[in-house]
Amino acid sequence: MWYYEKKLQYPVKVSECNPRLAKYLIEQYGGADGELSAALRYLNQRYTIPDKVVGLLNDIGTEEFAHLEMIATMIYKLTKDATPEQLVEAGLGPHFVNHDHALYYQNAAGSPWTATYIQAKGDPIADLYEDIAAEEKARATYQWIIDISDDPWINDSLKFLREREIVHSQRFHEAVEILKEERDRKKVF
């Protein structure tokens, strides 16, 4: 189903070890509006979406896994050389005690990822509006992380991800219009 190319969708570089920034990025790793939630939401919803737009959910859901890989790489690079003291100072002490430097699906506040973050109503238009909202919330979160980040290389990658959220939102809007047109077409039997 997928072809895995052993490189990131967009390059990820970091200026220096920065566990504080990594803590904020964890929101996009395991938070409600993060990349894992998006990927699972779209790949789950595709089973009850009309054929006219099913490919869109498959494509974007797959791309979200590539984004998850980028976020994981950022977090790893920002923390791999951090001392336990630096992690504690950044608010990652409980994470370190439970997981050392390993990544774990949780939000920036430390709450573990949960399936309640994803939605699937079964109504294609309702689900697509949920997807639009998810993309816009992810876009906003990326912007807020950029606003507090002082790492130009990380910001470059985050700007790429933010722009992809905008494109996904636009594509979901197009899918809604396709389904509304189909729904409103007169049916003659």
Domains contained in the chain, number = 1
Q: Is 135 annotated as a binding residue?
A: yes
Judge whether 154 lies within some domain.
no
| Residue 80 DSSP one-character state | T
Q: Is 99 annotated as a binding residue?
A: no
Its domain, for residue 98, covers 16-113
The CATH number assigned to the domain holding 48 equals 1.20.1260.10
CA-wise closest residue to 28 among 96, 74, 80, 63: 74
CA 40 vs CA 72, 83, 129: distances in Å: 16, 33, 16
pLDDT for the residue numbered 130: 96
Q: Is 168 annotated as a binding residue?
A: yes
Cα dihedral 2→141→74→80 (10° resolution)? -130
What whole-number distance in Å separates Cα of residue 175 and Cα of residue 87?
A: 43
Judge whether 138 lies within some domain.
no
pLDDT for the residue numbered 16: 96
Q: Which residues contact 16 (CB under 8 A, 6 or more apart)?
A: 151
Tens of pLDDT, residue by residue over 57-74, are 999 999 999 999 999 999
Q: Is 59 annotated as a binding residue?
A: yes
Judge whether 93 lies within some domain.
yes
Q: Calculate mean pLDDT across residues 133-137.
A: 97
Taking each helix axis from N to C terminus, what angle separates 35-45 and 51-79, rounded to the nearest 10 degrees?
160
CA-wise closest residue to 105 among 96, 93, 114: 114
Judge whether 188 lies within some domain.
no
pTM of the model: 0.94
Considering all CA atoms of the chain, what is the largest pairwise distance in Å, rounded to the nearest integer? 72
Question: How would residue 189 be classed by pLDDT, with cut points 50, 70 and 90?
Answer: low
Q: What does pLDDT average to over the chain?
A: 95
Judge whether 92 lies within some domain.
yes
Distance between start and end Cα atoms, the chain = 38
Catalytic residues: 35, 64, 67, 135, 165, 168
Q: Calculate mean pLDDT across residues 19-38.
A: 97
